[in-house]
Amino acid sequence: MSSQQSDFERTPGGAVLMDGKRLRDELIVSLRSTIAAAGDPEVCLATVLVGDDKPSQVYVKSKGKKAVEAGLQSRHVGLGADSTQSEVEAAVRELVEDPGVHGILVQLPLPDGLDPEPVLDLIPPEKDVDGLTERSMGRLVRGKLGHAPCTPLGVMRLLDRYGVETSGRNAVVVGRSTLVGLPQVLLLGRKGADATVTLAHSRTSDLAAVCRDADIIVAAAGIARLIGAEHVKPGAAVIDVGISRTEDGIVGDVDFDAVQAVAGAVTPMPGGTGPMTIACLMENTYAAYGMMQGS
């Protein structure tokens, strides 16, 4: 752990609390200053929401609010739950063809009966600010210019901001989704981060032993309280990405109360990686503008 961590808020157990809300707000303010210094160009993030799923509506509204705070333009396309595949694809295609739109985010999941893959495939890498298409993933694998998925990128921002060293360290990513787990492995292991990364999952033999060798654990399996104190080497950094709905409410993959007494740094749930996902979406949108301007 870095000596700069002495200035950070800590949990009752003494771990550094990696506050995603605080860092999100810092990044939004910084981005607003950057855009103002560039002459306030019109940078547009377009969101597409199909159906009336309440959590998705709240999430999309939050994205639009933060976009405005960051100095971006926010455009929203809302489609009914009875929309056809062709109607959804037509709405996305219109945004793709609009030169005034720099970033496109299609809120997932789509309603039952709609296939998200043909919809995402319409989005060119330059406008794929969520980093979800196969072309964006290919660019990440090959180290080409593109947009990394926002959640794993947010994890990297948290590690950097809170002084968690990655170079030469051992990291374990628990979860193998294309949304978080796989790109997280790539981001931690690429040049500049230089961690030695192990990909684990719910079927990993003796998961606790694998995790105890790690200096950094990223829990992204979507299994409530999967990671306990027995998984954590004293002083390790533990990042909670998972979200599960239980009788106790929404909980993460990390048993926070137990882990915070062992870890050197830990994210809260909520208030950790979720806010960072939105902050990195805004950063990716401004980067998309730069890519389209050739800068």
Active-site positions? 63, 107, 130
| Helical H segments across 98-205, by residue range | 116-121, 134-142, 150-161, 181-189
Burial call 226-245: b when 16+ CB within 10 Å, e when fewer: bbebebbbeebbbbbbbbbe
Helix (H) or strand (E) holding 266: strand 265-266
Q: Cβ atoms within 10 A of the Cβ of 256, count?
A: 22
At a CB cut-off of 8 Å and minimum separation 6, what does 46 contact?
75, 76, 77, 95, 98, 101, 103, 104, 105
- Beta-strand ranges (E) seen in 53-179 are 73-79, 103-106, 170-174
Q: How many CB atoms lie within 10 A of CB 90?
A: 13
Which 3 state secondary structure label does DSSP give 146? Answer: coil
* Strand spans (E) along 107-262: 170-174, 196-200, 216-219, 237-240, 244-246, 249-251
Q: Which two tokens stand for residue 261?
A: 């007494």
Supply angle C-alpha 33, 34, 40, rounded to 5: 85
